[in-house]
Chains A and B, each alone.
Chain A
Amino acid sequence: MIRTKGARFIRIKESAIKAFFFTNGILAVFILLGIFVFLLYTAIPAFREIDIKEFFTGKNWDPTSPVKEEYGILSMIVSTFLVTLGALAIAVPVGIGVASYLSDVAHEKVREIVKPVVEILAGIPSVVIGFLGIVLFGPAIAKITGQSHGLNAINGSILLAVMALPTIISISEDALNAVPRAYKEASLALGANRWQTLIRVKIPAALSGIIAAIMLGMGRAIGETMTVLMATGNAPAFPGGFLSSIRTMTANIAIELGEVPYRTTHYYALFAIGLVLFIITFIVNLISDVVLHKFQEKEL
């Protein structure tokens, strides 16, 4: 063991750095727990006045009604899922397609252009995309579907697909690139063509990473606020289909939290919605984790 004065200083420095990194790591856990506890603490008082069953199964959200205050969030939950699933229906095929193209088919020069463009897409602010939804996609959707306006769930889905796409593309592409070359070479050696190799060997091998990418994209879509606030019309009615104007949970919180009087039932109810969102996102991430582990075990 080194016993000089300088060595002691080195040992102390080492422990200090270890402690620093440990603290940072634990901090992430504490922040997550802290957010959850805060949400729970502020949401619980809502259920003193609101019946839990009515909260989750009621279709009407109208806390400022002069007739009868109603706190049902079913319409908003369904709206959030409608617009998220619509977004995934667009973003997953396109995303995996682009990722496959970038990892397998594209020329090096093309790759050098497309990859940065995809990253830039990820950086576009959500307000700008929302603006495009109102000004560009809205009238186009109205014309194509024969409706009188384009502020509906389809518009929201398209915009959310644009926002989830970079995430899905980047992570899927990384997953595809991580597949060992040996797999590809073995498949080609056995007589499969490039398409068969891609579909039957590479993608199944990268499936865990691709599913993780989809889950992250889904998480992004569920939590997106500004875009849906601007482009989906915010009508509180229960959605009648993709062509109805809808209001997601995120948009609802953004609209109402600014003016709600402090510590009223309405205030607590908004935090309860936040808690529901938190739990949904948590479950989505948990599922993606479980799936990831299952596939990793299968590979071994």
Chain B
Amino acid sequence: MNLRKLFIIGMLCFGLMASVPTISAQRNMMQIKGSDTLVNLVQILSEEYMAKNPRSPIAVLGGGSGTGIAALINGTCDIANHSRPMKDKEIEMAGDRGVMPRTFVIAVDGLSVIVNGSNSISRLTMDQIGAMFRGEIKNWKEVGGPDGTISMYGRQSNSGTYGFFQEQVLGNQNYSPHMKQMNGNAQIVEGVTADKFGIGYVGVGYVVDTQGNINKGIKILSVSRDTSSAAFSPLDKAAVDSGDYPIARGLLQSTAGIPTGAVLEFIKFELSPEGQKIVEREGFFPVGAAQMAENEKNMK
């Protein structure tokens, strides 16, 4: 009986001791949380960074832009990834907790509207897309397509992409309640690939593979501002840069206050030519000169 008790106590102590290194390792690990659009890109950037700096472990998690910003405000992450700017309410809440966030643009995204590969439509105007996602246009034949109910795939309300799309394309109106709200970009791509009447919106990094080939089964729509303008594709770098492509956006990272130490080093790596090359390789676009200058200012 005594030996058994001793054994149990011994195992408990061992378990406790074994968890201590993991606890301290977790405290040193940089936590990056937030946007699903950014999660793959930042994971790859952090892997390349960690290969050069093995003493700076980084953990990258998703959850959506809203989740990341909430974590930053609550102090449970070092960097928040977000694909939409912080809302006034969020900045106010941060201020209430003594957090003054600094935001950096680390990549540029041409938000892509995708349809199923078999769909005959290849271009739409902003108005048409907005009307479809607001639920005002219900059938593909109303925009010149096949006769079928439009099957919409979007994100959930914690997503920056959801918020950005609502602002830019829906004119800050409500989404149709019939839009299927998927957990991430990858699920939207899967959904549209399997659905012949599907339409969805995803970050441009999710529509191409690492060689730059468009994923099989989907078609990327060219978007025009109105019926009289030219339509541009989100894969057209010049159009995204110049603003001709109407739904381009900066992909952002925010820190609680001026970044220092390992956090600053990582952000500098992401903005370096090497980091930006990785951004391009993953299908997104590198940061333009004006935005880079803003980034420099925010670092001081």
Residues on B with C-beta less than 8 A from A260 are 70
Name which of B59-67, B209-217, B264-272 contacts chain A: B59-67
Q: Chain B's interface: helix, strand, loop or mixed, by majority?
A: mixed
A67-B172, A149-B194, A229-B183 in contact; A60/B89 too (CB < 8 A)? Answer: no
| Interface size in chain A (residues, C-beta < 8 A) | 33
Q: Chain A's interface: helix, strand, loop or mixed, by majority?
A: loop
Residue B179 lies at the interface, judged by CB distance under 8 Å to chain A: yes
Residue A165 lies at the interface, judged by CB distance under 8 Å to chain B: no
Q: Which residues of B contact A (CB under 8 A)?
A: 63-64, 66-67, 69-70, 73-74, 89-90, 93, 148-149, 151, 156-158, 163, 166-167, 172-174, 176-183, 187, 190-191, 194-198
Alpha-carbon distance A237/B64, docked complex (angstroms): 22
Residue A64 lies at the interface, judged by CB distance under 8 Å to chain B: yes
Alpha-carbon distance A272/B297, docked complex (angstroms): 44
New A-B pairs, 14, CB < 8 Å, besides A67-B173, A151-B191, A236-B181: A65-B174, A67-B172, A148-B149, A149-B198, A233-B180, A234-B181, A235-B179, A255-B156, A255-B157, A255-B181, A255-B183, A258-B63, A259-B66, A259-B70
Q: Are B172 and A255 in contact (CB under 8 A)?
A: no
Task: Tell me how far the C-beta of B21 lies from the nearest C-beta in chain A, rounded to whole angstroms.
Answer: 29
Residues on B with C-beta less than 8 A from A62 are 174, 177
Bitwise interface map of A from 162 to 196 toward B, beta carbon under 8 Å scored 1, else 0: 00000000000000000000000000000000000
Which among A64, A138, A261 is the interface contact of B194 at CB below 8 angstroms?
Answer: A138
Alpha-carbon distance A245/B166, docked complex (angstroms): 21
Residue A262 lies at the interface, judged by CB distance under 8 Å to chain B: yes
Q: Are A235 and B194 in contact (CB under 8 A)?
A: no
Residues on B with C-beta less than 8 A from A237 are 176-178
Alpha-carbon distance A187/B187, docked complex (angstroms): 57
Instruction: Please name 17 pairs of A and B residues whose Cβ atoms are closer than 8 Å in the assembled complex, sorted by A.
Output: A63-B157, A75-B177, A148-B148, A149-B194, A229-B183, A234-B181, A235-B177, A235-B178, A235-B180, A236-B181, A237-B177, A247-B181, A255-B158, A255-B181, A258-B63, A259-B63, A259-B67
Residue A142 lies at the interface, judged by CB distance under 8 Å to chain B: yes
The 3 closest A-B pairs by CB, nearest first: A259-B66, A237-B177, A259-B158
Alpha-carbon distance A8/B239, docked complex (angstroms): 89
Task: Tell me how far the C-beta of A110 lies from the nearest C-beta in chain B, rounded to whole angstroms.
Answer: 38
**From B62, which residue of chain A is reached at the shortest CB distance?**
A258
Alpha-carbon distance A149/B182, docked complex (angstroms): 14
Task: Tell me how far the C-beta of A147 lies from the nearest C-beta in chain B, rounded to whole angstroms.
Answer: 8
Q: Are A151 and B174 in contact (CB under 8 A)?
A: no
Residue A249 lies at the interface, judged by CB distance under 8 Å to chain B: no
Which among B90, B179, B191 is the interface contact of A261 at CB below 8 angstroms?
Answer: B90
A62-B174, A66-B172, A261-B70 in contact; A230/B183 too (CB < 8 A)? Answer: yes
Q: Are B180 and A245 in contact (CB under 8 A)?
A: yes
**From A246, which residue of chain B is reached at the shortest CB distance?**
B180
A66-B173, A67-B173 in contact; A258/B181 too (CB < 8 A)? Answer: no
Residues on A with C-beta less than 8 A from B195 are 142, 148-149
Residues on B with C-beta less than 8 A from A236 are 177, 181
A234-B156, A255-B158, A259-B66 in contact; A151/B181 too (CB < 8 A)? Answer: no
**From B68, which residue of chain A is reached at the shortest CB distance?**
A259
Task: Tell me how far the C-beta of B116 lies from the nearest C-beta in chain A, rounded to whole angstroms.
Answer: 9
